[in-house]
């Protein structure tokens, strides 16, 4: 879904490159998760479904991604939207300087705050390790699963005031 952020919300996308110029981390965000989700549902997902037909089986990572466009579910709790209206996604290779992602997240927070946001949230699959959740906690996010109550048990929701 990083492509959706890059296409629909490029002003809140920040990339970390290593000394060789390779991308090694990113923070992408959308100011208003409700508007972003609607745009993803109405424009991004249909375009991706047309571009990438649903695979017969999902054996590779690429096929999993293509299938995800066809099985896309939007979930956004009103309670989460009220307290954490912006949506963010963070990615980083494990071998890079951990302070780089903090600086990148700080830039995203400042940009979102300057445009009226007071909080952001992110979702991670429950299949992710506890180390992943701990990483987000170190970045200032808190577990808000009780606030979110997603319809399935496949997502953990984290929020952070900004």
Measured on CA atoms in the order 39, 62, 25, 162, is the torsion positive or negative?
positive
User: What are the backbone angles phi and psi of residue 100, rounded to the nearest 5°?
Assistant: -65, -45
**Is 83 a residue whose pLDDT tops 60?**
yes
Q: What is the mean pLDDT of residues 9-14?
A: 96
**Residue-range domains of the chain with CATH:** 2-36+75-161 (3.40.630.30)
Spatial distance between the Cα atoms of 116 and 42, rounded to a whole number of angstroms: 25
pLDDT in tens, 18-36: 888 888 899 999 999 999 9
pLDDT in tens, 63-72: 776 666 666 6
- Residues contacting residue 6 through CB under 8 Å, at least 6 positions apart: 13, 28
């Amino acid at each position: 879904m990083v492509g959706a952020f890059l296409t629909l919300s490029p002003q809140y996308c920040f990339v970390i490159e290593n000394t060789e110029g390779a991308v090694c981390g990113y923070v992408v965000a959308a100011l208003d998760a409700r508007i972003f989700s609607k745009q993803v549902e109405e424009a991004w997902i249909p375009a991706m479904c047309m571009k990438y037909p649903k695979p017969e089986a999902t054996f590779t990572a690429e096929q999993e991604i293509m299938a995800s466009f066809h099985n896309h579910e939007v979930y956004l709790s009103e309670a989460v939207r009220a307290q954490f209206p912006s949506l963010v996604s963070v990615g980083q290779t494990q071998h890079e300087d951990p302070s780089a992602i903090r600086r990148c997240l700080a830039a995203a927070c400042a940009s979102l705050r300057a445009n009226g946001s007071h909080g952001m949230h992110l979702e991670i699959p429950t299949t992710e390790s506890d180390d992943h959740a701990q990483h987000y906690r170190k970045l200032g996010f808190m577990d808000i699963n009780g606030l979110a109550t997603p319809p399935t048990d496949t997502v953990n929701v984290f929020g952070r005031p900004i």
